[in-house]
Amino acid sequence: MSTLKAQVFLDTERTLAPISPLLFGGFAEHMGRCIYEGIYDPASPHADARGLRTDVIAALREQAYTVIRYPGGNFLSGYNWLDGVGPKEQRPRRRELAWQSLETNQFGTNEFVEFCAAIDAAPMLGVNMGTGDIQSAANLVDYCNTPGGTYWSDLRASHGYPTPHNVRYWCVGNEMDGPWQIGHLDAVAYGNKALEAAKMMKWLDPTIKTVLCGSSSDGMPTYPDWDRTVLEIAWEAMDYHSMHYYAGNRANDTASYLASAVTFERFVDTLEGTLRYVKAKRRSTHDVYLSWDEWQVWYKGDPLQGNWTEAPHLAEEIYNLEDALVVAQWLNVFLRKSHVLKIACVAQIVNVISWLHTRRDALLKQPSFYVFQQVSNLARGNALDVFVKAPPVETPQYGAVPALDVSASFDPETQKTAIFLVNRSQTETVSTNIVWQSAAPRQIAGVTQLTGPDVKATNTYEHPDAVVPHPVAGVQMDGNTLSLALPPLSFTVVSA
């Protein structure tokens, strides 16, 4: 084993953009055991009087989520939101087509808003653009946000919620480019429907912010024409354009997988170009930003169909060290693209494609849980334009990529800096000098590393701390420089 050398240059004045707090969002869908047995589980010893899992709430609070998107996902496109409000004993049980499960509707819009309050996150609701019409979308805004004195707001009050929910963020459909979507539309049909829905929704509440469905991934045959077309039609009525992407190491090509940030950045760059093109073409003064409202590692092949059962085990991915290092890069990309990326929601927050798993009486935090927790709690203020000089590592898919993937933040109010560094090399320690080109901190508040020799290592209920961040002792500034040894396959967090 040899030691490679790298330098990371920081200047707290050399900023990219303010970091949107909404980059640390999550997604909760009526799929598998995300809602039922994840968030809501009256049979759990950890449930509160409302049936919400207090241990799950505590774990989500540790992760400092700022916004939660709900109720889907593919589920959204067959969902009648009226099924999920009002007295629970009168709510219908239905066959749910997206995941072929049995939906009891014991958890719905009002319970979701209460759950968001419990974790101190803003709700982000979706309106159904599959089987739903634009009237039903508008009715939901009226139900949630009108203070009172209308049919829909009075119905909300009669359900026990006299105070309006004031839901600010609204997704106008989900993945409408996908043939798998219930009520899938082509780009022109969806663009027109989304425009008309958003018009009505904003007439009812002009303070809301709307999210247009972008491509379901950069692998869609209609990408990026879908994005251009729907944006050209609905531009003025939209505030955000969605991106979805799931990463994976299907070929067991770890070198390429650990360079996933290249794909993430390309995806953002292409859509940023599309936004600029459409804004120019429309001669618009309005801006639309990106909302990466589904992102996660997902490829290990758990079932996706529930055989018409309640809360089936679907897509309960087990994440390992390499997955955590990919998540760390994803978050680095969010910071590096913070000028255009303003919302991001990890899919999903518990059990389904999630780093947090539940049993009826226990919780398991997988390695990437800690990566998200650290970044969401520390990245504040402005993203910095970091200059990285790092040796290359070779990858089959991308050729040579830098061994280090880095982002950093500086908060002018608190004067706090956070630096996030991934060493993608599978074999080499990278001896790294972090050099402050502006006033350097006198001391380092803390350094942690999440790493290990086995890229496939994970946490289990029996060994929950196998892959967790550990403090690095004896770290000191030398003038304007901090020297760190970054082990192979590691995520290092510096706070100063």
Just list the catalytic residues.
175, 294
Judged by CB, which is closer to ligand AHR: 73, or 367? 73
CB of 317 to ligand AHR, least distance (A): 11
Judged by CB, which is closer to ligand AHR: 125, or 406? 125
Q: d(Cα 38, Cα 244) in Å, to the nearest integer?
A: 23
Assigned token pair, 218: 């950069």
Q: List the one residue out of 485, 380, 389, 383 whose CA is nearest residue 435.
A: 389
CB of 174 to ligand AHR, least distance (A): 5
- CA dist 338 to 86, 239, 385, 448, Å? 40, 16, 11, 24
Assigned token pair, 179: 């043939």
Burial group, residue 409, by CB count within 10 angstroms (0-12, 13-18, 19+): buried
Judged by CB, which is closer to ligand AHR: 67, or 353? 353
Residue with tokens 């999550």, as numbered in its chain: 26
SS3 assignment, position 66: coil
Judged by CB, which is closer to ligand AHR: 217, or 270? 217
CB of 32 to ligand AHR, least distance (A): 9
Judged by CB, which is closer to ligand AHR: 103, or 175? 175
Q: Which residue is nearest to ligand AHR (CB)?
A: 73
Q: d(Cα 324, Cα 458) in Å, to the nearest integer?
A: 10
Judged by CB, which is closer to ligand AHR: 247, or 347? 347
Assigned token pair, 277: 């093109």
Q: Contact, 231 vs 212, CB < 8 A?
A: yes
The count of other CB atoms within 10 Å of the CB of residue 136 is 16
Q: Contact, 132 vs 123, CB < 8 A?
A: no
CB of 319 to ligand AHR, least distance (A): 15
The count of other CB atoms within 10 Å of the CB of residue 399 is 11
CB of 300 to ligand AHR, least distance (A): 14
Q: Contact, 290 vs 244, CB < 8 A?
A: no
CB of 365 to ligand AHR, least distance (A): 20
CB of 43 to ligand AHR, least distance (A): 25
Q: d(Cα 323, Cα 492) in Å, to the nearest integer?
A: 15
Q: d(Cα 375, Cα 331) in Å, to the nearest integer?
A: 7
Which residues, including other chains, have CB under 8 Å from residue 229's CB and lie 6 or more apart? 187, 188, 191
Judged by CB, which is closer to ligand AHR: 176, or 386? 176
Calculate the CA 178 to chain-centre distance: 20
Region for residue 160 given its phi and psi (left: phi exceeds 0; alpha: psi -120 to 50; beta: otherwise): left
Length of the chain: 496
Q: Contact, 292 vs 344, CB < 8 A?
A: yes
CB of 216 to ligand AHR, least distance (A): 6
CB of 347 to ligand AHR, least distance (A): 4
Calculate the CA 199 to chain-centre distance: 27
Q: Which residues bind ligand AHR (CB under 6 A)?
A: 29, 31, 72-74, 174-175, 294, 347-348, 353
Judged by CB, which is closer to ligand AHR: 303, or 441? 303
427-439 residues labelled b (16+ CB within 10 A) or e (exposed): ebbbebbbbbeee
Q: d(Cα 176, Cα 129) in Å, to the nearest integer?
A: 8
